[in-house]
Amino acid sequence: MRPDSVTQPGPSRRRSARLRDDAIRWITRRHAHDGEQAHLGRDRIYILPTRAGYTLLGIILVMLLGSINYANNMAFLLTFLLVGIGHNAMWYTHRNLLGLQISTLPVPPVFAGQPITLPLRLTETAGRAREALVLCIGSHATAPFPVPARGTHSARLDLPGLARGIYRLPRQRLDTRYPLGILEAWSWLTLNPEIVVYPTPIDPGAATGGTGEDDPHTRDRREGEAPDQIRPYRPGDPPGRIVWKAFARSGKLHVREAAGGQGDRLWLEWDAMPATDTETRLSMLCHQVLAAHSEARAFGLRLPDQTLDPAQGATHRDRCLQALARFRTDGVELDPGPAT
Q: Which residues pair with 316 in a beta bridge?
A: none
The C-alpha atoms of residue 34 and residue 189 are separated, in whole angstroms, by 7
162 and 224 share one domain? no
Q: Which residues pair with 311 in a beta bridge?
A: 299
* Number of folded domains that form the chain: 2
57 and 188 share one domain? yes
The range of the structural domain enclosing residue 173 comes to: 7-198
291 and 222 share one domain? yes
- Please, where are the H alpha helices in 42-167? 51-70, 73-95
193 and 263 share one domain? no
Q: Please enumerate in sequence order all residues whose Cβ is within 8 A of that of 236, keeping only pairs 6 or more positions apart, or say none.
A: none
Q: Reading across the β-sheet that carries 116-123, which strands appear in turn?
A: 37-39, 101-104, 116-123, 152-159
Q: Which residues pair with 101 in a beta bridge?
A: 39, 123
pLDDT tens-place values along the chain, 340 residues long: 333 433 455 667 667 767 777 777 777 766 777 788 899 999 889 999 999 999 999 999 999 999 999 988 999 999 999 999 999 999 999 999 999 999 998 889 999 989 999 999 999 988 899 999 999 988 899 999 999 999 999 999 988 888 999 998 888 899 999 999 999 999 999 888 889 999 999 887 665 444 444 444 444 444 444 445 666 766 655 566 677 766 777 777 776 665 544 455 678 888 888 888 889 999 999 998 998 888 888 889 999 988 989 888 889 999 999 999 999 888 777 776 665 5
224 and 193 share one domain? no
242 and 319 share one domain? yes
Residue 29 located in a structural domain: yes
281 and 178 share one domain? no
Residue 245 located in a structural domain: yes
Indicate the residue among 137, 164, 198 that finishes a domain.
Answer: 198
Q: Which residues pair with 38 in a beta bridge?
A: 102
Q: What is the dihedral of CA 18, 24, 26, 30, to 10 degrees?
A: -150
Q: Which residues pair with 219 in a beta bridge?
A: 266
The C-alpha atoms of residue 224 and residue 205 are separated, in whole angstroms, by 25
Residue 336 located in a structural domain: no
193 and 211 share one domain? no
Residue 338 located in a structural domain: no
Residue 2 located in a structural domain: no
